[in-house]
Amino acid sequence: MIQMTQHLEDFLKFDLGELDASLYPNVELDIPYMTNGKQVFDLYMPDGNKPFPLIIVIHGGGWISGYRRSKFMGPMIQPVFKGVAIACISYTLALEKPFPQAVYDIKTAIRYFKANGERLGIDPSKIILWGESAGANLAALCGLTTDTDLHDLSQGWSEYSEKIDGVIAHYGVYDFLTIDRQLVENGVHDDWPMSSEDSPASCFIGQPILKDIEVTRKANPMSYVKGNHVPFFLQHGKKDTMVPWQQTRDFAAALSAQGNEIELDYIDEAIHTDIAFFSHQEIEKIMRFCERVWVRK
C-alpha cells in the first residue's frame, strides 16, 4: 500500500469544482450500475425520439481523485445537445483499491448498459467510451481487453458483452515506463516523476511502477494493442508538461501497425486538460468520429 505523502496531499487538494446538473433538462443522478457494489452514474438524455446512442464518460484525476460531476465534466456532456446520451460514471479510486479495480468497474458499467439500455432509452448496440487523462488510460484499457478475463463478473450483468464501438481518449497515459524519459526529452524536469514511489501512477499500480515491470505492463494499454480492432479517436496537446504528447504518438503508431482504425489529432499549443480540447470545432470532430462508427451498425 502506498503511504500518504505531502505530494499526494497537495495533489488531492486541487479544486475540482462541481458542475450545475440543473442546467441540463433531462438528467437523472446517482443511478447504481452494480448488482454487487456501490458505484453509480449520472445520465444526461437528449430531447427527441429514443433510443439514443451512448457515450460513457470516464473522468480523470490521476486515478486517485476526480468526480463524475466535477467542473471538468461539463465540456464532455456537450454531445447531449447533439442527440447522444451521456453517462458520467464513478469508479473505484486507486487509494481505495488499485488496478485493476477501476477497469472492473467500468466494464461492469458497460454490461449494465447492454442489459438495461432499452429500458433507459439507450441503444445498447451503440456505445463509445470517452476518457480524459487517467480516464483515457482506463478507456483504452477497457476498449482493448474485451476478449480477455480482465473483469469481475460478480459485480453484475455477467451474461452481457463488454464490447464497445470505439474509444475517445484525450492526453492519456499508454505506457507508464516511458513517460519520465519523454518528459526529459521535452525539457520538463519534474520533482515528482512517475517513477516516484508515491506518484499517482504508483498508486494506480498498487506499488512503485519500477518495482515489478511485468506488473506495471499489465496496466499499460500499449500491452493490449494486438487482437482487438476497436476504433480510436486520440488527442493530445504538444505543450503538455504532465503527460508527454509522445505517449499518444507511440500508442497511435502501435495501434495503426496492428490494423486499428485511428484518428489522431494534436493541438500544438494545448496543455494538459486544456479547454481547447472541448471547443465547438473539437466537439464536432468527436461527433463525426462517433457517427462514422455508428453508421456501420
User: pLDDT at position 92, please?
Assistant: 98
Angstrom distance (rounded) from CA 134 to CA 172: 6
User: pLDDT at position 229, please?
Assistant: 85
* Residue 18 burial (CB count, 10 A): 12
**Low-confidence spans in the chain with pLDDT less than 50:** none
Cα end-to-end span (Å), the chain: 44
User: pLDDT at position 190, please?
Assistant: 85
Name the superfamily (CATH) of residues 16-177+214-294.
Answer: Alpha/Beta hydrolase fold, catalytic domain (3.40.50.1820)
Angstrom distance (rounded) from CA 41 to CA 38: 10
Angstrom distance (rounded) from CA 145 to CA 162: 9
User: pLDDT at position 25, please?
Assistant: 87
Domain ranges of the chain: 16-177+214-294
User: pLDDT at position 235, please?
Assistant: 98
Angstrom distance (rounded) from CA 12 to CA 162: 31
Q: Per the confidence metrics, is the pTM higher than 0.85?
A: yes
Cell numbers at residue 24, please? 441540463
